[in-house]
Amino acid sequence: MEMTIGKLAAAGQVGVETIRYYQRRGLLDTPRRSTGVRRYGDGDVRRLLFIRQAQTAGFTLEEIKELLDLDSGEDRDRARNLARNRIGALDARIAALQRAREALQRLVGECATDKSGPCPILASFDL
């Protein structure tokens, strides 16, 4: 299925300028004009969705470009190492978020409606 840049952007839930930015960065190809309009296909949608998911996982655009380049190659070690490093970073972020959640739970308990006095907001975040 062929589509315009606007439809590609909509499929990836990004703006047209984001598509152009990704093209300038080498993450997406810029197709030739066909009857004055650039046409994008399913492969472009797939690549755009991968970029968005990789960003959500915390990969930088440079790392995403490297992963996309590795997709057509045979350097499985590099791809595996990039993924392992990202898993480690995600694990650290998850641990930090869990600590923040626990602090907020302490705050809810310390600021219960049946207690009097000020709510110890700063103390609830002490680890």
What does the pLDDT look like over 14-28, one tens digit per residue? Answer: 999 999 999 999 999
Q: Kindly report, residue by residue over 46-93, the tens digit of the pLDDT.
A: 999 999 999 999 999 999 999 988 887 778 898 889 889 999 999 999
Which CB contacts under 8 angstroms, 24+ apart, belong to 30-38? 37/4, 38/4, 38/5
Quote the mean pLDDT of the chain: 88
* 94 against 71, higher pLDDT: 94
Give the DSSP letter of residue 14.
S
**What does the alpha-carbon distance between residue 102 and residue 73 come to, in Å, rounded to a whole number?**
44
User: Is residue 123 over pLDDT 80?
Assistant: no
